[in-house]
Amino acid sequence: MNVRTLLKTFSMPLALAGIWLFFIWKLDHDALLGDGHGGYGRLIFLSPRNLTQLIVQFSIIGTLALGMFMILLTGQIDLSAGSGVGLIGGITSVLIIQQHWSAPLAMLAAFAGGLALWSLMGTLIVKERIPSFIITLGGMLIFRGFFWMVIQNATIPVKGLSDNLFSLITTYYLPANAGFVLAGVVAGALALLQWRGRAARSAHGLPVPPAGRTWLRLALIVGAIFFMVDRFNRFNGLPATFLILSATAAGVYFLTRHTPFGRYLYAIGGNEEAAVLSGINVDRVLIGVYVLMGATVAVTGFMQTAYQGSSSTTVGDLMELDAIAACVIGGTALKGGRGTVWGVLFGTLIMTSLLNGMDLMAVEPEKRMIARGIVLVLAVWLDMRLSRP
């Protein structure tokens, strides 16, 4: 394995480790080494409370990034996602708080609205042959304007309503025992997938990675899962948002890896003309992937609004850029045809860790923007460098 391959394989884990070590050094250094008076201070970055907050943020951005991932696979883009997050959350808040709808009915109506809007954008893109950049840029402005009209430029609180399903999205936590049971189920599922994958490659005469390396990696992942569940349980337990992300990730993984629709996404992104000639209904697939994007935008809108505790004019700001950055950092090609769910989740964790650490350090907003931009540019540069022959 040459240096280029090693860098491509371990660049994301090394980047994540570097970010965590930096924030641990800046925030938890004294707590880990002692406060100079024979005692130990209080952990900040590694505290159960902060790790829980980090995983909630990770779940929200990750859910949107998974929808963006499917869009990028086809070589398209969606710049309206952040505004859509605000609009869907705003509609739901108004229906519940001002119109006195039940939370499930309001969420169902807003979800249907998201599907309809993204279906319309997808139809315009494929039927009128308008670039997705233009349609979704227009959607970004239109949705943001409608969002402000819906909430009337006011702040609509949704936090503290204990009987409200909408509010409970980010305030409910699994009990400790349930968290460990779920971790065990996930560990068993990962082991089964690894075993079936190796067996399938062997049956088809394909090269199989060394068993030691495969199972060592699995052991590290399972160990990390149980460690994180233990840390969550020291606060309130496993957050419901993480369950939503897990379900979304499992669905997107199955769709992109084990269905014809998923193979069509890669084929269209790799070479749309060849996909047409091979008999793929490209228009239908593209409209379908935008409908799926609308679903993830709606779910993210519910989570982000509930997490913020209110629907205000800032909900969803720049979230589409965070989602795109997470995908690119995770190895998804902007030109389409390349990317994985695992890469997107890893890229999201890197972005979320960076944002969370800067929040704890009270970094000025302008410096946060610069840091996010630098990380995105470096990720694209490294990906292009390592992809060259």
Which residue, 250, 295, 292, is CA-closest to 114?
295
Q: Average per-residue pLDDT in the chain?
A: 86
pLDDT of residue 320: 92
| Token code pair at residue 178 | 């349930």
- The span from the CA of 238 to the CA of 176, in Å, is 8
Four-CA torsion 172, 175, 181, 185, nearest 10 degrees: 0
Confidence bin at 376 (pLDDT 50/70/90): confident
CB atoms within 10 A of CB 266: 17
- The span from the CA of 139 to the CA of 121, in Å, is 8
Q: Is the pLDDT at 383 greater than 70, yes or no?
A: no
CA 103 to chain CA centroid, Å, is 24
Helix axes 240-258, 341-360, angle to 10 degrees: 150
Q: pLDDT tens digits, residue range 139-184? A: 999 999 999 999 999 888 886 555 577 778 888 888 888 888 888 8
| Token code pair at residue 237 | 């337990």
Q: Is the pLDDT at 343 greater than 50, yes or no?
A: yes
Pick the residue with more confidence: 149 or 222? Answer: 149
Confidence bin at 66 (pLDDT 50/70/90): very high
Arithmetic mean of pLDDT, 42-52: 83
pLDDT of residue 39: 41
Four-CA torsion 327, 213, 242, 235, nearest 10 degrees: -130
Confidence bin at 297 (pLDDT 50/70/90): very high
Contact 339, 330 (CB under 8 A): yes
Q: Which long-range contacts (CB under 8 A, 24 or more apart) does 211-220 make?
A: 218/190, 218/191, 218/194
Percentage of the residues of the chain whose pLDDT score is greater than 70 = 90
Q: Is the pLDDT at 116 greater than 60, yes or no?
A: yes
Positive or negative torsion for Cα 149, 311, 110, 161? negative
Classify residue 225 by its DSSP letter.
H
Contact 301, 110 (CB under 8 A): yes
Radius of gyration over every alpha carbon of the chain, rounded to an integer in angstroms:
22
Domain residue spans of the chain: 50-172+239-387, 176-236
pLDDT of residue 388: 60
Element (H, E) at 48: helix 48-73
Q: Is the pLDDT at 380 greater than 80, yes or no?
A: no
Contact 67, 295 (CB under 8 A): yes
Contact 240, 168 (CB under 8 A): yes
Q: 238 forms bridges with which residues in the sheet?
A: 174
Q: Is the pLDDT at 16 greater than 50, yes or no?
A: yes
Residue 186, Ramachandran bin (φ over 0: left; ψ between -120 and 50: alpha; else beta): alpha
Q: Which residue's structure tokens are 């897990």?
A: 246
- The span from the CA of 277 to the CA of 223, in Å, is 47
Confidence bin at 283 (pLDDT 50/70/90): very high
pLDDT of residue 38: 42
The CATH number of the domain covering residues in 50-172+239-387: 1.10.3470
Exposure of 178 in the CB half-sphere (CA atoms within 13 A): 10
- The span from the CA of 83 to the CA of 147, in Å, is 8
Q: Would you list the DSSP string of 319-368? A: HHHHHHHHHHHTT--TTSS---HHHHHHHHHHHHHHHHHHHHTT--HHHH
Positive or negative torsion for Cα 303, 304, 310, 313? negative
Determine the residue type at 361. M
Least confident of 43-47, 50-54, 321-325, 377-381: 377-381
| The most confident of 125-134, 357-366, 368-377, by mean pLDDT | 125-134
| Token code pair at residue 346 | 């890893």
Q: Is the pLDDT at 276 greater than 80, yes or no?
A: yes
- The span from the CA of 100 to the CA of 91, in Å, is 12
Arithmetic mean of pLDDT, 337-366: 89
Write the secondary structure of 273-301 as one string of H (helix), E (strand) and C (coil): HHHHHCCCCHHHHHHHHHHHHHHHHHHHH
